[in-house]
């Protein structure tokens, strides 16, 4: 059976938009892989290859979304 791919979400601790997105996904039981950009230069560089405003969501099909709803994200 194939393993279902999960979206990857790049976040910064304390970012209001990141917190709101993850709370929503947790309430909806959405599985995701969270990567904290402030903990690693490699993760920060990875995130910046997709955009400059967290949360950055990279979907399994390659689509990229930045920010969350009407909440201003955090620039990286």
Q: Is-contact 34 57, C-beta < 8 A?
A: no
Owning domain of residue 12: 8-75
Q: Is 54 helix (H, G, I), strand (E, B) or coil?
A: strand
In a domain, residue 3? The reply is: no
For residue 22, what is the enclosing H or E element? helix 16-27
CATH number at 35 reads 3.40.30.10
In a domain, residue 14? The reply is: yes
> Quick one: pLDDT at residue 4?
72
In a domain, residue 60? The reply is: yes
In a domain, residue 1? The reply is: no
Count of structural domains within the chain: 1
> Quick one: pLDDT at residue 70?
86
Backbone angles phi, psi at 58, to 5 degrees: -110, 110
Query: In whole angstroms, what is the distance from residue 45 CA to residue 39 CA?
Result: 11
In a domain, residue 66? The reply is: yes
In a domain, residue 2? The reply is: no
For 35-64, the pLDDT digits (tens) are 999 999 999 999 999 999 999 999 999 999
* All residues at 6 or more sequence positions from 38 whose CB lies less than 8 Å from its CB, including other chains: 12, 13, 44
């Amino acid at each position: 059976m194939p393993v279902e791919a999960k979206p990857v979400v790049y976040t910064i601790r304390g970012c209001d938009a990141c917190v709101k997105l993850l709370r929503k996904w947790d309430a909806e039981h959405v599985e995701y892989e969270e990567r904290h950009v402030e903990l690693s230069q490699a993760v920060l560089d990875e995130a910046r290859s997709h955009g400059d405003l967290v949360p950055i969501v990279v979907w399994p099909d390659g689509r990229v979304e930045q920010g969350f709803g009407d909440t201003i994200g955090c620039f990286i």
